[in-house]
Chains A and B, each alone.
Chain A
Amino acid sequence: MTIRQSAVVFAWILLIPALLYVLVIVAYPLADTINLSFTNASLRRTYDWIGFDNYRNIFKRGFSEVILRTLVWTFFSVGLKMVIGTFGAVMLNAAVPGRTMFRVLTMPPWIVPMAIGIFMWGWMYNGQFGMISGLLQRFGVIDGPMPFLAFGTSAFWATIVTDVWIGVPMVTIYLLAAIQSIPRDLYEAAWADGAGRFYRFRRITLPLIVPALITMSIISLISTFNSFDIIWILTQGGPSGKTTTMIIDTYRTAIGSYKFGEGAARAVLICIFLSVFCFAYFRLISRFSGATMR
């Protein structure tokens, strides 16, 4: 065996444990999901191949509405994360006393167990005793108690706000790092030419963090599309299905009613959406880096 060959063998020995683990816990389940989606599997040990019946049934039961709702929910959540994250990153980038502490204070929603953060929001949304309804009444914005999770529209937005809250710290910290990696001479040159603060933001900061923004958008898009805990804990998809996203619907079908086959067909559709997002991302990022860098 040559030195090169022994190096390759050694590399594979190093890789095999992680590779096997991911194959068993992710790749096999993925293949199994596709397989199950063509069957009528349930808790019974045996099941039959039923072709595309699950997929036909899905759309008979108003799944297109769920898909549309999921896309709208995801769109607003990701959009708000980017806007608030950019705002936070720019503010935390300012050279003011205390900024190190402010940066650390941004992190708690990200590191706290998700479910526990959601419990706190659950109380905040309480109509009688929660902070949001209480303060809005105090300032005369609303007349009576407002139970945010009890009405379709307000529950829809309440779950978005909580999702944004959980995602914002990571977006902010990444964008802050992106801003800090912009060469300082660019700002100094613009400043020497008399460019104002806002002009510098619009013409230097913003264009140069676009790759970071695209990357964060896709990462947020994927985690938001997969978001389960928030809606499940706050509303379980209610009231009357107004916060039922694809993931929630899949969980309800598969784990709630043990219809593994139908659930798997829904999961496959989610995977198709995720793949489309990732494909779009690679097209976007390669076009962008081809056009402006190097």
Chain B
Amino acid sequence: MKSNAMIDRYRWYEMVGIYAGIALFLTFVLAPFVEGFLVSLKPLTYLFSSPYKFWPQNASFDAYFTMWERVPLLGRYIFNSILISTIGTLIGVILITPAAYAFARFDFRGRGPLLGAFLAVNMFSGAVLLIPLYRLMRSFGLLNTYFAMIVPGVAFVIPTGIWLLRTYMLRIPQELEEAALADGASRFYTFRRVILPLAMPGISVVAIYSFLTIYAQQFIYALTFNSKTEYMPLPVGLYAFFGRQDVIWNELMAASFLGVLPVFVVFIYLQRYLVAGMTAGALKT
């Protein structure tokens, strides 16, 4: 009789195969980061030398200091990126939470089709709707403001946000609300005092998801709806340097790494909840 734990036992050549496979996979995933980091360490004269050398000689962190002079608004760009994502996340959570509760708990006519309609928003991207959005922003007088970059992005985190949080709320036992209502609490009070505290972990997942999504995708709106340098988020701020002939690559990469840092911090702390929440919501279709 073979023991069941044996199913996970690998022979040595299977072990080698698995690690080789993982190494191959992670090389593809991580190569740009490794290369980007090494480039940020290479002095410019060395960087533009042939033939190619993988490891930097005379590696230094100079670029991390000189970039502040070459990109004077760098600090501002990073601040803008964080600001846009934070406000977008706040608006998103405020809109998503009540809607998710309505879909999770209340039976009203047209609930199914309406949820479907929300999810259909995922089909479109800001890029397809850019022309009317541009006109809309112009008529609201929002062009060249922070809000032009915040408002469209939020709309595209709402569907997934509602879906994730609805899935979470469906797991909260209904008896708690019924008890509160039976005690004479109003519906709004029940929502605020019973559901919100219980749904906090789910709301956090939605908040992290929104923050990361908005942070990752703040290129096209910022490129199109804003031309003021001081409002630019990091990707667009750096893109201005990217397009030029004399790109200061080591500084561009150094600045990029600095801009990635906030999301890495958020992510490393919270990745476990995020992955669990996202996949739970996704597999329950």
Interface string of B74-102 (1 = CB under 8 A from A): 00000001000000000000111011011
| Interface pair A145/B50, CB less than 8 Å apart | yes
A208 an interface residue at 8 Å Cβ cutoff? no
Q: Is the CB of B238 within 8 A of A115?
A: yes
Report A-chain residues with C-beta under 8 Å of the C-beta of B268: 104
Chain B: residues with Cβ within 8 Å of the partner, total of 105
Find out whether the CB atom of B35 lies under 8 angstroms from the CB atom of A21. no
Does A33 lie within 8 Å of B7, measured CB to CB? no
**Contacts from A to B (Cβ < 8 Å):** 6-8, 10-15, 17-19, 21-22, 24-26, 28-30, 32-33, 36, 84, 87-88, 91-92, 94-96, 102-117, 119-124, 128-131, 133-135, 137-138, 145, 165, 168-169, 173-174, 177-178, 181, 187-188, 191-192, 197, 212, 215, 222-223, 226, 228-229, 232-233, 247, 250-251, 254-255, 260, 263-264, 267, 270-271, 274-275, 278
Using an 8 Å CB-CB cutoff, how does the interface string of B21-63 with A read, 1 for contact, 0 for none?
1100110111111011001000000011111111000000000
Residues of B within 8 Å of A129, CB to CB, are 47-50, 52, 249
Greatest chain B CB density within 10 A among A15, A124, A173 is at A15
The 6 closest A-B pairs by CB, nearest first: A134-B52, A115-B235, A11-B106, A29-B132, A177-B279, A32-B132
Partner of B152 from the list A18, A25, A36, A263 (CB cut-off 8 Å) is: A25
Are B132 and A192 in contact, with the CB atoms below 8 A?
no
Please name 26 pairs of A and B residues whose Cβ atoms are closer than 8 Å in the assembled complex, sorted by A: A7-B106, A12-B108, A14-B99, A18-B158, A26-B156, A29-B131, A36-B132, A88-B25, A88-B29, A95-B10, A104-B268, A110-B216, A112-B216, A114-B216, A116-B256, A129-B49, A134-B52, A135-B52, A165-B32, A177-B279, A177-B282, A181-B283, A247-B127, A255-B131, A274-B123, A275-B123
When C-beta atoms are compared, the residue in chain B nearest to A175 turns out to be B279
| A229 and B219 form a contact (CB under 8 A) | yes
Indicate if the CB atoms of B135 and A96 lie closer than 8 Å: no
Whether the pair A107, B220 counts as a contact (CB closer than 8 A) is: no
**Given A174-B279, A187-B7: A119 and B238 within 8 A (CB)?**
yes
